[in-house]
Amino acid sequence: GENVEQHPSTLSVQEGDSAVIKCTYSDSASNYFPWYKQELGKRPQLIIDIRSNVGEKKDQRIAVTLNKTAKHFSLHITETQPEDSAVYFCAASGSGNTPLVFGKGTRLSVIA
């Protein structure tokens, strides 16, 4: 089955700096790669996703890149703000009703 590795487990950045979180996956059949933000005690919220037919996607300060050959994808947050502090999870899945497999998460702290 699919295995998703995520790094780093914790990340501290100064406000205004960029943050990068990286994930690798094992199943070449996976074609959907979402990123979730989870605040303490709350549900994961989808912040951006990318599909295997696209190499990069951007939404304001957030961007995701995908390298299918290397089987890795990354989340980039620019101009970080304190409210970006949370746990971020990457995930991967195939098509249809296959479940998402999550990485272990990255705890991002943005220091004002």
Partner 1 sequence: GAVVSQHPSRVICKSGTSVKIECRSLDFQATTMFWYRQFPKKSLMLMATSNEGSKATYEQGVEKDKFLINHASLTLSTLTVTSAHPEDSSFYICSARDPRSLEQYFGPGTRLTVT
- Choices 19-27, 64-72, 74-82, 87-95; region in contact with partner 1 by CB under 8 A: 87-95
- 48 in Cβ contact with 34 (< 8 Å): yes
The answer to whether the beta carbons of residues 92 and 74 sit under 8 Å apart is no
Q: Is 82 helix (H, G, I), strand (E, B) or coil?
A: helix
Q: Among 43, 47, 55, 108, indicate the residue that binds partner 1 (CB under 8 A).
A: 43
Contact 69, 52 (CB under 8 A): no
Closest CA to 22 of 75, 80, 98, 78: 75
Q: Which is nearer to partner 1, 16 or 99 (CB)?
A: 99
Q: Is 85 in the site for partner 1 (CB under 8 A)?
A: no
CB of 46 to partner 1, least distance (A): 6
What minimum distance in Å lies between the beta carbon of 74 and partner 1? 18
Residue 27 as a binder of partner 1 (CB under 8 A): the answer is no
Residue 95 to residue 88: CA distance in whole angstroms: 23
For partner 1, the binding residues (CB under 8 A) are: 32, 34, 36, 41-46, 49, 51, 89, 91, 93, 95, 97, 99-105, 107
